[in-house]
Amino acid sequence: MEKERLVLVGNGMAGVRTLEEILDRDPAKYKLTVIGEEAYTNYNRIMLSNVLQNKMTVEEIITHPREWYEEHGIELIHHDPAVDMNTADKTVVTASGRTVPYDLCILATGSRSFILPIEGSNLPGVLGFRTIDDTVAMLEMAKQYKKAAVIGGGLLGLEAAKGLVDQGMDVTVIHLEKWLMEVQLNEPAGNLLKRDLEKQGLKFLMQKKTVRITGDTRVTGLEFSDGTTLEADLVVMAAGIRPETALARKAGLEVERGIVVDDYLATSAPSVYAVGECAQHRSRVYGLVAPLFEQGRVLADALTMGKGAPYQGSTTYTSLKVSGCDLFSAGIIREEEDVQAIEALDGLAGSYKKIFVKDNQVVGIVLYGDTSEENRYLKMLTQKQDISGLTSVSLLSAGGCCGGASADSVVDWADEETVCGCNGVTKGTIVNAIQTKGLTSVAEVTKATKAGGSCGKCKGMIDELLTAVIGKDKVVAKNGICGCTDLSRDEIVLKIHEMGLMTTREVYEKLQFRNPEGCSKCRPAINFYLNVAFPDEHLDEKESRFVNERMHGNIQNDGTFSVIPRMRGGKTTPEQLKKIAEVAAKYDVPLVKITGSQRIGLYGVKKEDLPEMWEELDMDSASAYAKAVRSVKTCVGANFCRFGTQDSMGLGIKLEERYEYIDTPHKFKMGVSACPRSCVETGVKDFGVIGVENGFQIYIGGNGGTEVKEGKLLTTVETEQEVIDICGAMLQYYRKTGIYAERTAPWLERLGFEQVKSVLLDPEQRKTLLEELDRSTEGKRRNPWNEVVRSEAVRNELYTVERV
């Protein structure tokens, strides 16, 4: 039996994704033909701004090379657009005159840039920003010309403008409205965005209407309705897009703004369907990728398995791909009669959030500056969670316990929750693929599930899931420190110093990381390297730290947390013990245990109880979760033990007080034993001290864990001060030369014990390292959790909370 002929008109993201969905369900059902207008096979249009901003190449955004079509037996009619369609004869005619018969036809003709119908709009130097050809033309013109004007302050216009600034052009954005991105943002967020973009070199003319583009043989400038003018060598039209419906209109299909479709994407013509930006469903046309892929899944079901769940419209959300300007917008973001709004503005941090509520449910979200809670709010919105139990303040701030950062890790999500919004891939699908297919890299997960294959924003979460399922040691990061870059640790640190890069954003942009947001591997690493490189200039980026560090507690296997107060040297007081007991009883803590580092740990603590518990304890956090100096384990020493030769507890407390909270590439543990019996297992500590009759033996590079490494004897010294100084010098040398997440044992092996020994025992080098450590950590060596608790009142004053 001959297969039915399925013809796809349009070789873009929505149409090809629909074919992928069909092939996944029934690869042998149809004889497939694709008719494409552009000279390229299918590519990721979302990434055009990255090409313009020199973050990616054209080749890197091609998602389906010619081999993919051949592999699946798809006939590709290339660079030959459809110009006519006869729904009675069931044929499509291309520009070259080729007639293509079909049994079923999918129209996925997409959209085109809206070119203002004004004088001069057809002059050379006037472009849209919609295709690879548009992008390549802009890059070429940027080499010859200096002044660019971008008409339109929406998502596409701002990405184009930033790309042209990166090419060295003088760029002015002309926008008709009062604030930027007025469709996705309200006025306060739009104004913050404008301020931040101005810092990056963009200029703006707001509430300006362009009435004429000047020039004879080529564009020379713009004229506005108020009589003012602007010089320009290049004009980019980014005032919106329009669904491409010419073929459908000509064929007599029902067309309004777009090609009208029903809940199964069927048009008014028999056997003809439409998906993507050209389709109009329930009076709405979508221009974002996630709804287009949702349509593709519904249509694929209908064409392979019969009508399943209908398409009922999509909740859209937007983020901007411009360095240093984090924004997120979703749902209804305009106040209406039955929609209330709660907003908060942090003027110092330059962040803003506004949550729109209707019938005790979140219906809209605007976040700017700090978007760390987007997943929390998006879940509230998409799952229609009842928020009647939340106050205005708790709704705005309950997502995290540290500086407003979200502590909601993807590892804790339910399997049915969506990780990749663009492609509709759930956590359960990703975890199942990792487990059943033996996946070991983000790229493999993307290939197997499509997660991370569009905007790329979820790649960090995919990496977190990989690490949780197979362990970080088995996750493959090709060449570089992670899958985002081929650069090594040393290359990155060198470029940070050479180029004066001060933020993770600058590192990702200037060093052309594949994922402009970074991932869970490189974000904390880059933040650490910046902390060490520019301790005074770089402001520690809490959102780049692991969830344990943001929460100030280790997450347990059931999603609860540990609370471990600091007890320097294992020493405590009756008052501390009483507080711990009272808090443990009040919050019904399931487990109270003496830890291996001589502290009392409270385990099984609920996330929402953490702030109150720490405040009531009024004790420092032990940093038992951090890549930092964690603890100094001691015995009771000569003051009590008949074998002790030195005051081990006193020295341990001095070491802990001197170096606690200092960030290091990995956890850093110390031990001080009062005699060679070494009751605190000094030989497997990163820095171990053994008291002897004439002083102190110092051991370095000992590590416990799955592969035990015995520490090496560095030297014997006479005084406690020498021990403290050598410890500080080692810490700074480890900070300067260590690879993030590298323990001291492999660090020592990589650098060579003799090299490290020569540095630490050289008085001049030791002095220099200690001075560097003091400069790096001055003002930062304090309890971060107490800082958060103390700052709550300040933060509440900075936030203006309003219920409308």
Pick out the residues of the known binding site for siroheme. 679
Q: Judging by beta carbons within 10 Å of its beta carbon (0-12, 13-18, 19+), is residue 338 exposed, middle or buried?
A: exposed
Residue 45 near residue 63, CB atoms below 8 Å: no
Residues flagged as binding site: 635, 641, 675, 679
Residues flagged as binding site for [4Fe-4S] cluster: 635, 641, 675, 679
- Reading the block at residue 306, the tokens are 């019969």
N residues, the chain: 804
Edge-to-edge strand ranges of the sheet holding 210-214? 210-214, 221-224, 229-231
- Contacts of 467 by beta carbon, 8 Å cutoff, 6+ apart: 475, 520
Helix (H) or strand (E) holding 138: helix 132-144
Task: Estimate the share of the chain in helix, then strand, then coil, as percent rounded to the nearest 5.
Answer: 35, 20, 40
Give the amino acid at 106.
I
Tell me the backbone φ, ψ of residue 717, rounded to 5 degrees. Answer: -125, 165
Tell me the backbone φ, ψ of residue 780, rounded to 5 degrees. Answer: -105, -15
Residue 546 near residue 507, CB atoms below 8 Å: no
DSSP state at residue 402: B
| Most distant CA atoms of the chain, gap in Å | 102
Q: CA-CA distance, 299 to 275, in Å (whole number)?
A: 8
- Reading the block at residue 631, the tokens are 């603890």
Q: Judging by beta carbons within 10 Å of its beta carbon (0-12, 13-18, 19+), is residue 39 exposed, middle or buried?
A: exposed
Residue 342 near residue 357, CB atoms below 8 Å: yes
Residue 443 near residue 476, CB atoms below 8 Å: no
> How does strand 170-175 pair with strand 147-151?
parallel
Tokens 């301790």 correspond to what residue? 535
Q: CA-CA distance, 610 to 604, in Å (whole number)?
A: 11
Angle between helix 155-166 and helix 187-199 axes, rounded to 10 deg: 10
Residue 462 near residue 439, CB atoms below 8 Å: no
DSSP state at residue 644: -
Give the amino acid at 513.
F
Three-class secondary structure of residue 418 per DSSP: strand
Tell me the backbone φ, ψ of residue 617, rounded to 5 degrees. Answer: -65, -35
Tokens 């004053």 correspond to what residue? 797
Q: CA-CA distance, 234 to 126, in Å (whole number)?
A: 6
Q: CA-CA distance, 212 to 220, in Å (whole number)?
A: 11
Task: Return the exposure string of 70-100: e unless at least 16 CB atoms fall within 10 Å of the residue's CB, then b.
Answer: eeeebebbeebbbeebebeebebbbeeeeeb
Give the amino acid at 209.
K
Residue 165 near residue 200, CB atoms below 8 Å: yes
Residue 289 near residue 46, CB atoms below 8 Å: yes
Residue of 749, 752, 745, 747 whose CA lies nearest to 703: 745
Residue 482 near residue 519, CB atoms below 8 Å: yes
Three-class secondary structure of residue 427 per DSSP: helix
- Reading the block at residue 279, the tokens are 């389709």
